[in-house]
Every structure is written in C-alpha cells, then in structure tokens.
Structure 1
C-alpha cells in the first residue's frame, strides 16, 4: 500500500509521519535526521519522504521508499535534496500531523492505529503543537501508566 507519508529510521524502528500536503512531514523528518547527527537521538536515517510503501510481514509493518523517490527529501527553501537512506525499516510509531481532534490527555485507544492489519503506537499532533518537541518527548520518556 502506498501512503502520502515520510519515514525515518531511529535506532531499530522507523517513525512513519502522516499528514496532509504542507503539514510538515518533510520538516519533521529532516529535524529527526539532524537530531540523529547531533546525538540528540540515536542513529537516524531517512527511509522515504512524500510517498512510501508499507506492507505487513510476519506481524510487523515494513516501510520502504517509493521507487524513484529513494534518498530524496524536500527541504523547505532548498528544494529536493539527496540524503543517505535506508531501503527498508520496521515501523515502530505512527505520527499524525495537524490532527484536529488531538487531545491534551489522549485516552489509551487514541494512542493506537492500524495499518495493513498491524496495530501500532500512534502520536496525534494538534495543529498548534510543536511536533519535534512532542515526538522527542514520546521517544525519550515512558508513560506514567495513569
């Protein structure tokens, strides 16, 4: 299945970033890659930008770049640029950008989504929220269980 999304491998798992055109998918992907280069996050590398393919395999979701877009990312103000990229990754988190119904304290069922029959953790980002800060918090902190 092809999605209008970006994906970045962070450590052993990829973050799949979904959102409408202009919502900041590429910007968030590039911010994560930069954070990996500075050591703020573990290893981070582009999987795909703008369009990616996802498929279920052995109970997990794989993400790959869309053919001709492999290694390419849009950087606002610079245009389309080439970066080192990974050919495939396991998805560990789905981020939905500019979600109108994103809640301040979301219920547990809002923190899960399903793609290709695979249930995955989900982070819904409200239009006025800081997606980079929210994603850093999600990746670097643990749920309190409350």
Structure 2
C-alpha cells in the first residue's frame, strides 16, 4: 500500500460499467449484498466482477477514485457462515458510488439527501443506503441513484414507475 492509498473495510465490485463500494460495520452484510449484485448483474447479461472483499485499497488517479485488492485476497469473497469462494475479479476499477449497508430499514427511514462517503483525504463518493435484506439490490440502486436508472443492470424497473 502506498502513502497515497487508503485502506477501507468494505467490498468493491463492478456491475455493468460502474464501480460500487459497499461499506458498513463488520457483519452488516456487505459481502452478501455485493455477491447478490454480482449474481444479479450476470443473470441480466451485464459484466460483473469483484474488485476486493473485506479490504479495499483506494487511490486517486486524476479526478477519479480507484479501487484495487490486496494481492493475498484477490478474487476471494466471504459468504458469511458458508465459507470463502473464488469469483471472477478485476485488478482495479474506478468507483462511482458508495453503498452504506444497513441492518434495519427503520434506521433513518428517510436519510438526508445528497449524502457522501469520505475516503480519507482523497475525496468522496455519492452515498446511498441499502437495507441488507433487499431482494433486488441493483434495481434498488437504480431507483435510489438516478444516474444509474438507464444503465444495465440497474434499469430493472420501467422508468415511468419512478416519475
């Protein structure tokens, strides 16, 4: 890890053309939601790959926040209570959105608008909150983050429903 990198406890994936960073306390369901997103994106025919699970190294390249995985855990994701599995992974990817995984949907039923997640002194990412029990996480993300609504695999809903 270089001085210009920040080590984040989280899980990072690519779904379609977007890098997603899942954050939250240990045991909150970050890996499970990320794995569900990977599977859902694949079923829709979109590209999906793990960047890193448990530890995500983030650096700044020009105006982008870029994630990579520590070498020792490349391609591995923990499915809590079941084991550690190997999945398709990419060595690095630009991050576009942070997802705060929450355990109860009653936590701040209406969170503040335009939240962001600070990555040390490197910058920040837009933040949305996602309940760890949601059945269709990519559709939720598309609904919660308007820039994703027209992109596969996030465009699972008819856009007119959202207006």
Give TM-score, length-normalised by structure 1: 0.81
- Name 1:3's counterpart in structure 2: 8
User: 1:88 & 1:102 partners in 2: Cα distance?
Assistant: 33
> SS where residue 107 of structure 1 aligns?
coil
Q: Could you tell me which of 14, 18, 26 is aligned with 1:13?
A: 18
> SS where residue 68 of structure 1 aligns?
helix
- Name 1:138's counterpart in structure 2: 141
- Name 2:51's counterpart in structure 1: 47
> SS where residue 95 of structure 2 aligns?
strand
Report how far residue 103 of structure 1 moved: 2.8
> SS where residue 85 of structure 2 aligns?
strand
User: 1:34 & 1:50 partners in 2: Cα distance?
Assistant: 18
8 Å contact from structure 2 (residues 12, 19) kept in 1: yes
8 Å contact from structure 2 (residues 40, 138) kept in 1: no
8 Å contact from structure 2 (residues 58, 68) kept in 1: yes
Give TM-score, length-normalised by structure 2: 0.74
- Name 1:33's counterpart in structure 2: 38
> SS where residue 81 of structure 1 aligns?
strand
Deviations 1:17-40 (A, max 9, x none): 11111111110111011101211x
Q: Could you tell me which of 21, 24, 29 is aligned with 2:29?
A: 24
May I ask how many residue pairs the two structures share in their alignment? 141
> SS where residue 77 of structure 2 aligns?
strand
Quick one: structure 1 residues 66 and 102, their matched pair in 2 at CA, closer, same or farther if it must change by over 3 Å?
farther
Q: Could you tell me which of 81, 87, 90 is aligned with 2:85?
A: 81
User: 1:80 & 1:53 partners in 2: Cα distance?
Assistant: 20
Gaps of 5+ in 1: none
